[in-house]
A = this chain, B = another copy of it.
Amino acid sequence: MAKISERGILMPASPIRKLVPYAEDAKKRGIKVYHLNIGQPDIKTPDEAFDALRNFKIKTAEYSHSAGNESYRRGLAGYYGSVGINVTYQDILVTTGGSEAIIFAMLATMNPGDEVIIPEPFYTNYNGFAVQAGVTIVPVTSSIESGFALPPISEFEKKITPKTKAVLVCNPNNPTGYLYSKSELQQLRDLVLKHDLFLFADEVYREFCYDGHEHFSVLNLDGLDNHAVLFDSVSKRYSECGTRIGALVSRNKDVIGTALKYAQARLSPPLLGQIAAEGSLKVGREYFDEVYNEYINRRNFVIQALNKIEGVFAPMPKGAFYTILQLPVEDAEDFCVWLLRDFNYKGETVMLAPAAGFYSTPGLGKNEARIAYVLNVEELSRAVVVLEEALKAYKTR
């Protein structure tokens, strides 16, 4: 029998894969599961997206331009301008979700065996993209005690080898909710200029920054035009995860030109998603304000409530809609399985993402889990009660 490849075997499965059958089984047993494990927001997609789809009259659903429809790229450049990032439509390649932007950037700038340094914990799918591109992720550990602030630059310096080609940050951060400051980003700028590396920034949570903290884009770092590469997506910005519309943005013409060759091979990003995304560009700040108010209420509620549970610590996120919880358990994965398999409180339980999957260094994050506060306050409130009862019961199980 013809066999699958070694890299296919090495390709990591979703870190919650192990939990999914238990969650499905719990539901079959009539238990309500609060999904704090995924970043699928419950926020309404703006009407402008659906209106654009309804009003788009075409006879044939043709390929769009491989780099994306020019009208959408021009509109997107306008959006960036509105948030203080000056780029032209020619600096933008529309991609199939932010995922494809990351893969294209890796393929365009890194050879097999090359290394990218990423602060851990990090978004687990970076591992999958790295396997796909044949490159190695080198982690630099950030810690829950500092709220997952940028580790000292000296820690990055230690990890640089002749194979290092890029540093990647997710800002605001999934899974930590940390927002890198301008000063931290300037330190990274100096580092990448010193070693002639690319600075990749995954800024898909740009619109989700709290407490007056402002987002600072890598594209606004002085002197970094040839080194800064931005990954973006409408998935979270307009709650349009399913449309699969992202973007690769860089003023480095070689990066965009090379990524375009990969884009040409797959012909076109999704046409219908581009129509929805272009329509969404019409939403005013009031849409973001409404979403902001919803998330800040959720965050303020859930972080305070979680920190009141004995033995639980959750740093206050400055952005995105995640936080990493420190739990009074030895093995968070075992606890997460137990929550679904063996526990319920008044017919309800909670699904969390064990944090070890977000760390590259073995052994780290074992007593941590990520939550996404993508449910409304009432449901979050129930979920926190369930979690508190679960921790009591788990201790005496």
Contact = CB atoms under 8 A, between A and B. Distances in A.
B272 A109 contact: no
Interface string A5-33: 11111011110010000000000000000
A222 interface: no
B60 A111 contact: no
Among A42, A60, A132, A272, the most chain B Cβ lie within 10 Å of the Cβ of A272
Contact of A261 (B54, B114, B128, B255): B128
Interface in A86-143: 96-97, 99-100, 107-112, 114, 125, 127-129, 132, 134
Contacts of A5: 107-111, 114, 165, 258
Classify chain A's interface size.
35 or more
A339 interface: no
Contact of A270 (B129, B132, B134, B244): B244
Contact of A273 (B13, B62, B272): B272
A265 B132 contact: yes
A226 B1 contact: yes
Task: Give the oligomeric copy count.
Answer: 2
Contacts of A44: 59-60
Nearest to A271: B242
Nearest to A265: B128
Contact of A265 (B41, B99, B107, B241): B99
A175 B315 CA distance: 58
A108 B268 contact: no
Given A99-B267, A132-B262, A243-B271, 19 more contacts: A5-B108, A5-B114, A8-B108, A8-B109, A11-B258, A11-B265, A14-B261, A61-B242, A62-B241, A63-B242, A96-B96, A99-B265, A107-B132, A112-B134, A128-B262, A132-B265, A243-B272, A271-B273, A272-B272
